[in-house]
Amino acid sequence: MSGPSIVIVGFPSTDFVPIAAGQVKYGAGATSAASIPLKLLCVGMKASNAIGTSVQDAEVDFIPDVPTADTLYGAGSQLARCVQAAVGIQGVQVYGAPVAVPGGATQATFTFLITASQTIPVTLILRIAGLTISVGVGASDIASVIATNVAAQINATTRCPFTAVAVGAVVTATCITPGLDGNSYIAFASYLLCPGVSATLGGVLWSTFTPSVTVPAVGTYVQPSAAHTSGFYYKCTTSGAIGASEPTWPTTIGATVTDGAAVWTCFGLVVTGGGISAGGGSGAENVTNILAYINNAQYDRIALCQNDATNLGRWKTQVDTQAGPLSLILQHVIAATNSTLATATSLAQTTLNDQRFQLLWYLNSETHYTELAGVWAALRTANEAVDPAASSVYDGMVLPGVAPQSQRADWAIHSTLVSALNNGVTPISTSPSGQAVMVRSITTHSLNGTLPDYSCLDTSEAVVPDFVLVSLLLFWINVFKPSNPRVAPDLPADSVPYPAGVAYPALWSSTATSILADFGNGIVQGLQVPPIIYNVANNPVVSAFDPIAGRIMSAVTVQPMPGDHQLGQSVLQTP
């Protein structure tokens, strides 16, 4: 023979180390892995580097329950809440890896300005990070008393990601975990049950000031007047009489504008329905050290508490490298955002565009995006451990513990969902019954260069090839190799067959094809499940002998069985 016709990049003929190597080529055609329990890793920050017993950047912890996460990472912290969302899904092995809080990071904050003119007992309801904060208000309670009670109720709310203090009529809620991520928490105030009492978020309108007269104190918050709406609110960082006319408000967090003698700094978002995002959080974690720590470890699904381009790029580099033929650490990563679709699209296509990654999008989600990643990663882990081709089962699946979008204007319409799915973004929507539900679970891979490429759209299309590869390698290691400790090239058709114990390309091809046939018939680990691949007969396993290395090289084309997502039906009425 002239040499092998099958090449695995990174596994040259001159590599003689005993190993079962393999690779998955997406869109290339293409005992079982079902016997191996899937593991989920959540990666995020503790309340601070000094809080919690886990060592940041140098430890991975098995998390059997929420109290364990609280002890290790600090109750209400970013990582503890991500893990909390994941361990709520039964049958999932959850692990946590704490990332160091960046030096000099600041904590995001909310403020609520309480006013009171009630004449009867009422109930003030606030929502922070999807949690309902309910405070009883007496008929004679003044604003400062209400503020004190609001702060106390926030602090008494189990695992709330914020703590609060009251100064006069102002409640300031501070994120437990420092960093930019805190700015994505959202708060609302409801007045349905509290006539005469209000909790103003994001400050009063600029139009309530007296031009050239009002002197806002440092720390005062303001929103643009109706005619100057910018979508943001602002914090006074230099006191002085405001200008004669309203300024042009900046729309970049941290940007400033001079207003007469006063200076305002863009602090946070005003979201649909009058809610606000927290503001003032600064400092981005760096996952480089934790990536180095877990570099040689296998975690089948990874839920990220990071969604910035820099850290996602670091994850992409490592995960793709680990999936190489000699490492065979095959992982799938879930991140999320509650920002705009434009932001989600940029992250999915520009930063990632990768079959091993998924980016969830839930506009203005009151449940923090780190928790979205945690609960969905756990749901995938639970379902894909049983059915690697799980796909259509995800359509409309409820995300337990995730708050629905309270504002109907945030509910994505059909054309928006089409745009998201066409651009590698996995949208979550709010059902008519008021539940957060998955629309369709897809990978971020949607481009080949600049051209659309949906050859690996559903997450199942990325998972099934991994499952097949691992299953074939496990069979080779545990069954085929022990039965065939010798190897040789194929013999001519008219030759006497090799005796038992000799492996050769045609033997492996027939063996592997038999395994694939089982998968095509829905037989996985001896159990009957829906088929995970199809068209096996037209995709025969092709094997050749490498005479230099003395090994069989095999190419397996796998077509994952599509999920039943859609039906088109035309009903024709005739007279």
3-class DSSP assignment, residue 95 = strand
3-class DSSP assignment, residue 321 = helix
Q: Kindly state whether residue 148 falls inside one of the protein's structural domains.
A: yes
Q: Kindly state whether residue 119 falls inside one of the protein's structural domains.
A: yes
Among 410, 436, 452, the domain boundary falls at 410
Q: What is the DSSP string of 118-159?
A: -SS-EEEEEEETTEEEEEEE-TT--HHHHHHHHHHHHHHSTT
Residues 47 and 182 in one domain: no
Q: What is the pLDDT of residue 565?
A: 95
Q: What is the pLDDT of residue 306?
A: 97
Q: Are 233 and 203 in contact (CB under 8 A)?
A: yes
3-class DSSP assignment, residue 17 = coil
Q: What is the pLDDT of residue 25?
A: 65
Q: Kindly state whether residue 141 falls inside one of the protein's structural domains.
A: yes
Residues 130 and 82 in one domain: no
Residues 211-240: tens digit of each pLDDT: 999 999 999 999 999 889 999 999 999 999
Catalogue the long-range contacts made by 244-253 (C-beta closer than 8 Å, 24 or more residues apart): 244/211, 244/212, 245/211, 246/206, 246/207, 249/224, 253/183, 253/279
Q: What percent of the chain is predicted at pLDDT more than 70?
A: 97
Return d(Cα 336, Cα 420) in angstroms, integer: 13
Among 239, 254, 277, the domain boundary falls at 277
β-bridge mates for residue 235, sequence order: 221, 265
Residue 59 burial (C-beta neighbours within 10 Å; 0-12, 13-18, 19+): middle
| Residue 281 in tokens | 């959080």
φ and ψ of 561, to 5 deg: -65, 125
DSSP H or E stretch at residue 467: helix 459-475
Return d(Cα 85, Cα 95) in angstroms, integer: 12
Residues 148 and 121 in one domain: yes
Please name the amino acid found at residue 330: L
pLDDT-wise least confident of 2-6, 122-126, 310-314: 2-6
Residues 91 and 140 in one domain: no
pTM higher than 0.75: yes
Q: What is the pLDDT of residue 16?
A: 60
Residues 177 and 135 in one domain: yes
Does the pLDDT of residue 3 top 60, yes or no?
no
Using the structure block, give the residue that is written with the tokens 């000031």. 209
Q: What is the pLDDT of residue 233?
A: 96
The domain total for the chain is: 2
CATH no. for residue 44? Answer: 3.40.50
Q: What is the pLDDT of residue 19?
A: 73
First to last CA, the chain: 71
Using the structure block, give the residue that is written with the tokens 């300031």. 172
Please name the amino acid found at residue 572: L
Give me the mean pLDDT over the 59-74 stretch: 97
Cα dist. 386→381, 383, 464 in Å?
9, 6, 12
Residues 295-308: tens digit of each pLDDT: 999 999 999 999 99
| Residue 429 in tokens | 């929507």
Nearest residue to 309 via CA among 347, 360, 358, 355? 347
Does the pLDDT of residue 24 top 80, yes or no?
no
Residues 303 and 327 in one domain: yes
β-bridge mates for residue 39, sequence order: 93
> Could you tell me which residue, 449 or 25, shows the higher pLDDT?
449
Give me the mean pLDDT over the 556-566 stretch: 95
- Give me the count of residues in the chain: 575
Q: Are 99 and 56 in contact (CB under 8 A)?
A: yes
Residues 96 and 125 in one domain: no
pLDDT-wise least confident of 383-392, 474-483, 506-515, 521-530: 521-530
Q: For 36, which DSSP code?
A: S
Does the pLDDT of residue 496 top 50, yes or no?
yes
φ and ψ of 567, to 5 deg: -140, 130
Residues 140 and 196 in one domain: yes
Residues 43 and 140 in one domain: no
Residues 337 and 392 in one domain: yes
Q: What is the pLDDT of residue 526?
A: 76
Among 277, 310, 343, the domain boundary falls at 277
Residues 377-389: tens digit of each pLDDT: 999 999 999 899 9
Residue 430 burial (C-beta neighbours within 10 Å; 0-12, 13-18, 19+): buried
Cα dist. 493→4, 490, 496, 546 in Å?
19, 9, 8, 19
